[in-house]
């Protein structure tokens, strides 16, 4: 993935892929809302190999 070397940033295209993967997996796993942040963090790390900041997590899980 195209990444910024500062923090956990990624391209808008890659971010959309991560967010859609998050939404789909939450539905498929019937994941409780209190687990969403940890799940989003894990997906971001899996896709990018980087640690996301709290802002990225909040953007992934927003409805």
CB 44 within 8 A of CB 56: yes
Tens of pLDDT, residues 28-57: 999 999 999 999 999 999 999 999 999 999
Neighbouring C-beta atoms of residue 40, cutoff 10 Å: 23
- The closest alpha carbon to 62, from 17, 13, 22, belongs to 22
The distance from CA 59 to its chain's CA centroid, rounded to whole angstroms, is 8
| pLDDT value of position 9 | 66
Task: State the average pLDDT over residues 7-28.
Answer: 90
Which tokens sit at 55? 């802002």
| pLDDT value of position 5 | 41
Q: How confident is the model at residue 10 (pLDDT cuts 50, 70, 90)?
A: confident
């Amino acid at each position: 993935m195209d990444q910024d070397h500062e923090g956990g940033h990624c391209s808008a295209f890659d971010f959309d892929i991560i967010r859609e993967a998050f939404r789909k997996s939450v539905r498929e796993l019937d994941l409780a809302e209190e687990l969403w942040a940890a799940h989003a963090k894990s997906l971001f790390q899996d896709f990018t190999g980087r640690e996301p900041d709290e802002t990225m997590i909040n953007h992934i899980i927003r409805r």
